[in-house]
Amino acid sequence: MIGDQGAPERPRVVLDTSALFSQHRHWLWLLARLGYFDAVWSTFIVGELVRIRVEHSIQRGVSRSVYRQRINDLVHLLSDVLEVADYRRAEATGWLRDPDDEPILATAIAASAGSVVSLNTRDFPVGAEAAGIRFVTPQAFLTELADLHPPGEVGERAHGSGRLLP
């Protein structure tokens, strides 16, 4: 979609925990930081991300001091880019198979987001909608984002960024 000035409108999306834990998290964070889209999360998503990162670190035998520092660094970097939406302001019951995922949908509703970016394709069916919110995978979202801009622009801006997130 093109805005009033001829530039593409910035999509507004919720980044689900699975997207923030995925191999795509570096690109998602960087492109949000560069202003290609407005990224949103909630305190629910932060809590879930921390819980999962702790569990994975413990399973891998990472020392407590190391995983605490990595998680703190990650949350700090993401907090500089992602806007917080109060998921408790929105009603999102009965739309999803898994009621534990309703706070993610509620975050999108509260944030007036158009999409939820998630790898949870079982409970957030890709291409489907709930409450007017689309569900897309990180890869599909990155492809859509690249398609909104001149060929190669997104990749060129991100080139050399490396893996900046812990």
Is the pLDDT reported for residue 2 higher than 70?
no
Q: Label the pairing between strands 133-136 and 129-130.
A: antiparallel
What is the domain partition of the chain in residue ranges? Answer: 12-149
Q: What integer pLDDT is reported at residue 6 of this predicted model?
A: 57
Rounded Cα distance, 135 and 156, in Å: 27
Q: Collapse the DSSP code of 48 into the 3-class scheme (helix H, G, I; strand E, B; otherwise coil) and give the result.
A: helix
Q: Is the CB of residue 154 less than 8 Å from the CB of residue 31?
A: yes
Question: Is the domain 12-149 a CATH 3.40.50.620 member?
Answer: no
Identify whether the C-beta of residue 93 lies closer than 8 Å to the C-beta of residue 130: no
Q: Tell me the H-state helices in 4-152.
A: 17-21, 25-33, 43-59, 64-79, 102-111, 138-147
Mean pLDDT of 8-21: 92
pLDDT of residue 95: 75
Running DSSP on this structure, what letter comes out for residue 45? H
Give the residue-averaged pLDDT of 62-84.
Answer: 95
Q: Would you give the distance in Å from CA 104 to the centre of its chain?
A: 10
How many degrees, rounded to 5, is the angle at CA 101 between CA 96 and CA 104? 105
Residue 4's pLDDT band (cuts 50, 70, 90): very low
Residue 76: band (very low, low, confident or very high) from pLDDT cuts 50, 70, 90: very high
How far apart are the C-alpha atoms of 123 and 79, rounded to whole Å? 26
CA torsion sign for 68, 69, 70, 73 is: positive
Residue 157 belongs to what H/E stretch? helix 153-158
Q: 3-class SS at 50?
A: helix
> If we measure between CA atoms, which residue out of 153, 132, 138 comes closest to residue 39?
138
Whether this model's pTM surpasses 0.75: yes
Would you say 37 and 12 are in contact if contact means Cβ atoms under 8 Å apart? yes
